[in-house]
A = this chain, B = another copy of it.
C-alpha cells in the first residue's frame, strides 16, 4: 500500500481478485475477445508481462488456463497463439452449442415457474419490436439475455460453464452484427416456438425448438458470411474479411 510498491503501473483495478494470475488472465482474455490480440497472432509473454507491469510467471499461468479454455493454442517451445477458427471449427461450435441449448431447454421445462415464463415472454416481446424495426443493436443484448436466462434456470453449473466457454470461443470468429435482412424476424419466430414448448412443459419440443434455433442461426450466419466473403473477393478487398465487425 506504500507509494514505493505503487511504482508498478496499476493498469488493472483490484477487481476483488487478490491473485495476480487471475487479473492477468482476465486482462489477456479481454485483449483477445476485443480483437486487440489478433487471431493467429503470438502472445508474447515478455510483452504482456511488461504491459501489465508483472513478471512472466503469472502470465504463463494465465496462459495455461486460457489454453485449456480453448482461447489460446500452445505450441511447445514456440509459444501461445490466439486461436484461429476456420469454417469447420465454427461448425463444431455451432453444433455443440445447439446440443447444449437444446439440453438447457429440455431441462428447464421441469423447473420453470410462471414468473420466469413471464420474464421470457417480456424479452421475446421486446425482440419482436426490435425485429420489426430491424434494429440489431437493441435485439442483440436481449437475445443474449433470453438464452442466458434459460441457461441459468437449468441450475446446472457445468452446463452453464461449458456454454459460456463456447460463446467466448465463438467470439474468436468475429462476425457479430453479421445479419441478413430477415434474420431478426426469423430468429424471434423461433424464440416464440421455444416459448411455446416451455409453456407446455414439453421437454422434447423444448429440445427440438432450441436445437433447431441454433442450427438455423448457423445457416443464417454462414449465408451472410459467404455472401460477404464472395462480395469481398469480388470487390478486391479481401483484407477486410478478417475483421468484419
Interface residue? A61 (CB, 8 A): yes
Interface residue tally for chain A (C-beta within 8 Å): 35
Determine whether the beta carbon of B76 is less than 8 Å from that of A18.
yes
In A71-103, the 8 Å CB interface with B consists of 76-77, 92-93, 95-96, 98-100, 102-103
Copies in the complex: 2
Give the residue of B64, B70, B102, B157 whose beta carbon is less than 8 angstroms from that of A64.
B64
In the complex, per-residue mask of A27-58: 1 if CB is within 8 Å of any chain B CB, else 0: 00000000000000000000000000000010
- Collect the chain B residues with CB atoms within 8 Å of residue A113's CB: none
Give the residue of B22, B64, B102 whose beta carbon is less than 8 angstroms from that of A99.
B102
Give the residue of B68, B96, B107 whose beta carbon is less than 8 angstroms from that of A65.
B68
Determine whether the beta carbon of B61 is less than 8 Å from that of A92.
no
- Collect the chain B residues with CB atoms within 8 Å of residue A102's CB: 99, 103
- Collect the chain B residues with CB atoms within 8 Å of residue A92's CB: 156-159
